[in-house]
Amino acid sequence: MLPPSSCDKAAPLLDTTARLHTRSMFSKELLDHFQNPRNAGELKDATATVDVSNPVCGDILKVAVRVDGQRISEARFLCRGCTTSIACASRLTELLTARQIGKLHEITTDVLSASFGELPPETIHGAYLAADAAQALAAKLGVAR
């Protein structure tokens, strides 16, 4: 058996430091949406589907909605991305469901960020991605700005 190295001794400290950093960077609600995403998956017979991406980090978001009358009755997402992108996609589907399509433009980066207690600048790109998806849906559904 090898004697413990300085890395072995530091590992518990690093693990604790990493968890504290994660907790300070992300709200409990954001972590909950990441660990337990709402409305994840495909949506068969969707009225509209959009794909958006962040060319800088490579995050990709697909959002599909079903519209009944002028209201979104169901929303689902698929996301390949970071913690914040997945959490914001999950929150987006909650904001979309039961919303009148004429009010899609109300879903902004600021609204998404505020819904998690304000996102730090390092992670705000996840809210931009989700807001871009909402605006792309509005355009696809023919909603005038």
Q: Which domains does the chain carry?
A: 27-140 (3.90.1010.10)
Residue 14 pLDDT more than 60? no
27-51: pLDDT as tens digits: 999 999 999 999 999 999 999 999 9
79-129: pLDDT as tens digits: 999 999 999 999 999 999 999 999 999 999 999 999 999 998 999 999 999
Which two tokens mark 114?
Answer: 């505020």
Residues contacting 52, CB < 8 A, separation 6+: 60, 61, 63, 129, 132, 133, 136
**Total Cβ atoms within 10 A of residue 51:** 12
Angle of CA points 69, 41, 118, to nearest 5°: 85
pLDDT of residue 24: 66
Nearest Cα residue to 10 out of 18, 20, 1:
18
- Say which DSSP state 40 is in: B
pLDDT of residue 115: 96
Through-space distance between the first and last CA atoms of the chain, rounded to whole angstroms: 68
Across all residues in the chain, what is the average pLDDT?
Answer: 87
Query: Stretch 64-83: mean pLDDT, rounded?
Result: 97
49-65: pLDDT as tens digits: 999 999 888 999 999 99
